[in-house]
Structure 1
């Protein structure tokens, strides 16, 4: 059971396990980067000049992308502390997934384009889940109010697509397996946090691939858990600043339910 006295809104979609306000549109913080990574993965793996569909043209993993002053952004990531001026598309995607690097994200958005990202989201059946802007620190009144918005129902469905055995999905699942933040939903899921090798189902032990988002008053986590069975999830939380940890504890309780379900 979810705690009855949560100090905010918790939206949960774990198909076959738990649903709670799954259709509420909420800010996603860095979970919105999953949409960007989805389009990049499509562009890297799908053949043809149009990148295999409605998103856009083929991408080359080894293509170098210069980091411009406009890309640099504080918050999560490492690039603002490193003397790196150019990275490949593949390296930028890896940094975006593993450490949620904001500068890498902005460079990829500039290279790929928001329209292409959202076109891919629409093609995958996402109606309310969109990236609205680049990452900004700080976000000012003249900017879109948040980086991305979406619903737990749509994001758990996206996790299910990512867990499918398609080339783009397997690439993206591998990026998510390297995520360094397991403090939310996976915290009570017994797994090896350093196991970034994509596991098949059934698996002798539990395995997690995920993407998180953290902002003031926002905590989000979307992922895939594999064990005796596969469980895909999306948990989104919004609250007043200062109440985030109470929401995280509720997210961890959902993770415990997921662990039981995935263990079979």
Structure 2
């Protein structure tokens, strides 16, 4: 195990969407929500930046399709529609039930965040978020079927620009193991924020990680330095995935 300031609470941007996916998977498995239920986007759900639904003609998607969009492209519109259907209180409740006190989804996605809104979309610590990924890999988040659903959605993430850049995977096609490596991860980005949490599996072991970076964007563009450091963490992990001997 390696750690650096792992218990510092930082803004986690879109990483908190994982908690909405956990609640969606729990609701699917319990029968509280039909994966095929059609969800409609509204004007209030529309936001810019990450995702595809904002440019699609289709105004209605199934609940499960919304989860796939969130996993693959961190889709903001799909997040807002899904959270509206689940209820933010339900997302917070499952987060607390899992024992996470410093990490969670605080709000819906907004183009502009004012003083009347929560200060961030989500927050988290590396300790709790890496533990979340480790428990998902062991099938311990709510249940094994729930954990498998969430890992499936995270396994199609196309953002491999951070820690995931070290594993040499095709960002558009890595649902199956490639070069003996399988990755499920969720990233988050905002001005002065980069974060990547995931679990990467090799031939005989799996490593869960959470790498969170936050800096003052007014103090200069540090993005390249941050991405370089995150890639170095990925290479460190990759070395430890190799079979001994």
* Same-fold call, TM cutoff 0.5: yes
The structure showing larger relative contact order (alpha-carbon pairs under 8 Å, at least 6 residues apart) is 1
Select which of 50, 73, 78 maps to 2:47.
Answer: 73
Gaps of 5+ in 1: 1-15, 48-57
Partner Cα separation in structure 2 for residue 144 and residue 244 of structure 1? 25
Does the CA-based 8 Å contact 1:164-1:170 persist in structure 2? no
The two structures have a TM-score, normalised by structure 2, of 0.92
Task: Name the stretch that deviates more: 158-167 or 85-94.
Answer: 158-167
Q: After superposition, what is the alpha-carbon deviation per residue over 1:110-163, rounded to whole angstroms, capped at 9, x for unaligned?
A: 000111111111111101112111100122232221101110100001001111
Partner Cα separation in structure 1 for residue 94 and residue 240 of structure 2? 31
Aligned to 2:192: 217
Aligned to 2:148: 170
Aligned to 1:236: 212
Does the CA-based 8 Å contact 1:25-1:151 persist in structure 2? yes
Aligned to 1:245: 224
Does the CA-based 8 Å contact 1:191-1:205 persist in structure 2? no
Aligned to 1:25: 9
Deviation >2 Å, runs of 4+ = 190-193
CA RMSD after TM alignment: 1.4
* Aligned positions of 1:24-43 closer than 5 A: 24-43=8-27
- SS of the residue corresponding to residue 178 of structure 1 reads coil
Aligned residues: 234
TM-aligned CA deviation for residue 226 of structure 1? 0.5
User: Do the aligned partners of residues 100 and 204 (structure 1) sit closer, same or farther apart at CA in structure 2, a change above 3 Å counting?
Assistant: closer
- SS of the residue corresponding to residue 116 of structure 1 reads helix
Partner Cα separation in structure 2 for residue 30 and residue 126 of structure 1? 17
- SS of the residue corresponding to residue 116 of structure 2 reads coil
Matched, 1:114 2:88: yes
Task: Name the stretch that deviates more: 89-98 or 139-148.
Answer: 139-148
* Aligned positions of 1:191-230 closer than 5 A: 191-193=169-171, 194-197=173-176, 205-228=180-203, 229-230=205-206
Q: Which has the larger share of helix? A: 2
The two structures have a TM-score, normalised by structure 1, of 0.85
